Chain A
């Protein structure tokens, strides 16, 4: 396949994953706003914007005002925010068009129909009354594309680029949430058990759609170390860093098999794997959870860059 097309596939799936993750993040913030006081809600909206890396742009536009209406519209559809969800969906579709001859009609139609549906839903400002519907539509459309991809695409390098991109984006998203919320997970006896903390932990889990799985595994109990262990190291949870990296490694291995040799991306992947598998959650805490997350985000980005280089995405 063409390097340019591989690049298009890669970004198409990164953007789709990003749109979906953003919807989860807003959903968790929305719940916080409904169940807690104004002050906590404001803090939560602030952390949503920070997690998305859109803090300075938001503050420039809206100053210190963090309301549901303003945050959601800024994140979902504000033209002054070039990274809004609608623009992300549109970028995914443009990439799909660019790679139209490398994806099946089913995948294309899922992307295109999602784009049409969301264009209509986001044509007017989103209000509290329809926010839930909009957020679930975004997740549903992304799910349909994933299903079409899984069910109709040939298992060749195109598929591997699509999947590698998905897991790089997803790992980045999980790591960003941990980056912003790490302090909640630090072991500190003083906090444990307060209702404020359980709500905060719940929000962290919800923003990764992890609350149900975590509760089920822990019989309804919550503790910060257990949450960190679950989101970082549990290989069964599809948004944990470990899960993402096992999947990423498998897709990179397929690419190496297909091409007959490994590249810089495989080297970086091995290093990252070593770091991840050699540490227990205790060691991660001992060395500093925040530093771990910061390093992870940087090395994740380095792997993405190496893939683009190894497979001649741009030249």
Chain B
């Protein structure tokens, strides 16, 4: 019986209608979790609890922390890690990865089209106003093709599940998706904590992601690069919330980790100040937003970018990953058109589902949203990180009324979606296993050599009982994500 051995307390009751990925209480364990569950039942709960504490120390020691904006500059926090893995079968993953590949292919074609002939607008499938007044759309990119015609070198597609075969895309992160270092370190931690488990369950490895990233980025180098392109990671610096990840990826790729103060345009190339003088960079994996990239082109007061880098870029002498201006493709207003976009560029029906979305800019949709506010999730069009969001069913009357006013004041700033019954996966709590809602962010690499998806990704979990918000800034945690080898 699931979760009912003498060591493992009963799993508390599941949220209404949610699909639990391990299995229903009293029901059979699902295929994906069978081997893991069998192993778990043989373990002593005290020992597992000790392992859980050990895992936390492991994280602190390796320095896998994130900085909190606004808090004391030196403050570093851990994202809580849950030791119960999130497991997907090989067959489920194959279906998912086909859908992801299709979607990413479409996004790249869409980017090229939007900055060139704009066939999708001409065909009437996408209204022009959606991007004309959108800050994420960069006129500087019009008519320019990035090296290798790649726009989104690294994509993180956020997926949620509602049933055995029901996967939805919640968001396409096409700017600078973060979290991949957690995918890698979660696995390292699990292997260090439970080595015997990995001998019993065959899990597809994720550890060669940095090598694949380095290879993929090098394959996108401009023609001016030599046979061994120089790749560098641009970080806003040590106080950025994702600094650990920037340093980690640079280290794992054997690339330099550069900051604005290291870079300068010298002789028409972007160069970094080394101990032996300035040395050109061919590919810049930047973890700095478009706005801050070049003070001569964008925000003039930016101290995070490189003055003149856009000129070098447009002259084809550096690759910027991801390309400037790709933010338009993961805009929440564009999101609702993704099924049309996928169909338009691939000629295929979308494999992955989109969540039904009401654009409040549209009067009929606005009326529907206001009439059904308590049932819906409302998001700001340009918001991220779970901020500025209303979860209708969880909101108080007062919160609903306040949010209604905000929507009425600026309807075009909001979209609304039905509240999905996100799937749950057990987490290890002080009272045994308990179900919590999860999402999944697989990481996708794009280069002229193809689209490469690392099996698994980052599972984020809402640690608060019943909560649907998985963001680490809002009390979310992470899990190791397994794709089983067949």
Interface residues, chain A, with chain B CB atoms under 8 Å away: 1-6, 90, 94, 97-98, 100-101, 105, 108-109, 112-113, 116, 157, 259, 311-312, 315
CB neighbours (8 Å) of A97 from chain B are 63, 238, 243, 247
Once bound together, how far apart are the Cα atoms of A4 and B247, in whole Å?
14
Q: B275 touches which one: A1, A100, A315 (CB < 8 A)?
A: A1
CB neighbours (8 Å) of A94 from chain B are 238
Least CB distance from B255 to A in Å reads: 8
Q: Which of B151-159, B256-264, B287-295, B345-353 contacts A (4 or more CB under 8 A)?
A: B256-264
Query: Once the chains bind, are A2 and B275 in contact (CB under 8 Å)?
Result: yes
CB neighbours (8 Å) of B74 from chain A are 90
CB neighbours (8 Å) of B247 from chain A are 97, 100-101
B463 within 8 A of A: no
Query: Once the chains bind, are A101 and B275 in contact (CB under 8 Å)?
Result: no
Query: Once the chains bind, are B275 and A3 in contact (CB under 8 Å)?
Result: yes
Query: Once the chains bind, are B274 and A3 in contact (CB under 8 Å)?
Result: yes
- Can you add 5 more A-B contacts, CB < 8 Å, to A100-B247, A101-B255, A116-B61? A2-B258, A6-B275, A100-B63, A100-B244, A315-B273
Could you name 28 residue pairs across A and B whose Cβ atoms are closer than 8 Å?
A2-B256, A2-B258, A2-B272, A2-B273, A4-B261, A4-B273, A5-B257, A90-B74, A94-B238, A97-B63, A97-B238, A97-B243, A100-B63, A100-B244, A100-B247, A100-B248, A100-B251, A101-B248, A101-B255, A108-B63, A109-B62, A112-B60, A116-B60, A311-B275, A312-B274, A312-B275, A312-B277, A315-B273
Query: Once the chains bind, are B262 and A4 in contact (CB under 8 Å)?
Result: yes
Once bound together, how far apart are the Cα atoms of A108 and B277, in whole Å?
27
CB neighbours (8 Å) of B262 from chain A are 2-4
Least CB distance from A92 to B in Å reads: 14
B71 within 8 A of A: no
User: 0/1 per residue, B42-72, Cβ < 8 Å to A?
Assistant: 0000000000000000001111000000000
Query: Once the chains bind, are B257 and A101 in contact (CB under 8 Å)?
Result: yes
Count chain A CB atoms within 10 A of each CB in B261, B274, B275 and give the residue with the most: B275
Once bound together, how far apart are the Cα atoms of A90 and B276, in whole Å?
29
Query: Do A4 and B238 contact each other (CB < 8 Å), given the known contacts A105-B62, A109-B61?
Result: no
Once bound together, how far apart are the Cα atoms of A151 and B275, in whole Å?
24
Query: Once the chains bind, are A259 and B238 in contact (CB under 8 Å)?
Result: no
Query: Once the chains bind, are B275 and A157 in contact (CB under 8 Å)?
Result: yes
The 4 closest A-B pairs by CB, nearest first: A101-B251, A100-B247, A311-B275, A101-B250
Once bound together, how far apart are the Cα atoms of A244 and B425, in whole Å?
59
User: 0/1 per residue, B287-326, Cβ < 8 Å to A?
Assistant: 0000000000000000000000000000000000000000
CB neighbours (8 Å) of B251 from chain A are 100-101
CB neighbours (8 Å) of B276 from chain A are 259
Once bound together, how far apart are the Cα atoms of A4 and B271, in whole Å?
14
Once bound together, how far apart are the Cα atoms of A4 and B273, in whole Å?
8
Least CB distance from B54 to A in Å reads: 14
CB neighbours (8 Å) of A3 from chain B are 262, 273-275
CB neighbours (8 Å) of A105 from chain B are 62
Query: Once the chains bind, are A113 and B273 in contact (CB under 8 Å)?
Result: no
Count chain B CB atoms within 10 A of each CB in A2, A105, A108, A259 and give the residue with the most: A2
Name A104's closest neighbour in chain B (CB-CB): B251
Query: Once the chains bind, are A101 and B256 in contact (CB under 8 Å)?
Result: yes
Count chain A CB atoms within 10 A of each CB in B243, B257, B272 and give the residue with the most: B257
Once bound together, how far apart are the Cα atoms of A5 and B255, in whole Å?
13
Considering the complex, which residues of chain B in the window 268-285 have a beta carbon less than 8 Å from any beta carbon of chain A? 272-277
Name B252's closest neighbour in chain A (CB-CB): A101
Once bound together, how far apart are the Cα atoms of A287 and B255, in whole Å?
52
CB neighbours (8 Å) of A90 from chain B are 74
Name B255's closest neighbour in chain A (CB-CB): A101
Query: Do A312 and B63 contact each other (CB < 8 Å), given the known contacts A2-B258, A101-B251?
Result: no
User: 0/1 per residue, B331-342, Cβ < 8 Å to A?
Assistant: 000000000000
Query: Once the chains bind, are B273 and A259 in contact (CB under 8 Å)?
Result: no
Q: A112 touches which one: B63, B238, B255, B256 (CB < 8 A)?
A: B63
CB neighbours (8 Å) of B250 from chain A are 101
Once bound together, how far apart are the Cα atoms of A98 and B96, in whole Å?
38
CB neighbours (8 Å) of A259 from chain B are 275-276
Least CB distance from B335 to A in Å reads: 35
Query: Once the chains bind, are A2 and B238 in contact (CB under 8 Å)?
Result: no
CB neighbours (8 Å) of B243 from chain A are 97
CB neighbours (8 Å) of B274 from chain A are 1-3, 312
Once bound together, how far apart are the Cα atoms of A220 and B74, in whole Å?
49
Considering the complex, which residues of chain B in the window 211-269 have a beta carbon less than 8 Å from any beta carbon of chain A? 238, 243-244, 247-248, 250-251, 255-259, 261-262
Name B258's closest neighbour in chain A (CB-CB): A2
Least CB distance from A33 to B in Å reads: 34
CB neighbours (8 Å) of B63 from chain A are 97, 100, 108-109, 112
CB neighbours (8 Å) of B261 from chain A are 4
Least CB distance from B68 to A in Å reads: 16
Considering the complex, which residues of chain B in the window 63-96 have a beta carbon less than 8 Å from any beta carbon of chain A? 63, 74
Query: Once the chains bind, are B273 and A112 in contact (CB under 8 Å)?
Result: no
Query: Once the chains bind, are B257 and A312 in contact (CB under 8 Å)?
Result: no
Query: Once the chains bind, are A4 and B259 in contact (CB under 8 Å)?
Result: yes
Least CB distance from A96 to B in Å reads: 9
Once bound together, how far apart are the Cα atoms of A94 and B247, in whole Å?
13
Once bound together, how far apart are the Cα atoms of A108 and B64, in whole Å?
12
Name A94's closest neighbour in chain B (CB-CB): B238
CB neighbours (8 Å) of B62 from chain A are 105, 108-109, 112
Least CB distance from B35 to A in Å reads: 31
Least CB distance from A237 to B in Å reads: 31
CB neighbours (8 Å) of A98 from chain B are 238
Least CB distance from B246 to A in Å reads: 9
Once bound together, how far apart are the Cα atoms of A101 and B251, in whole Å?
4
Least CB distance from A308 to B in Å reads: 10
Least CB distance from B67 to A in Å reads: 10
CB neighbours (8 Å) of A1 from chain B are 256, 274-275
Least CB distance from B207 to A in Å reads: 14
Once bound together, how far apart are the Cα atoms of A5 and B248, in whole Å?
15
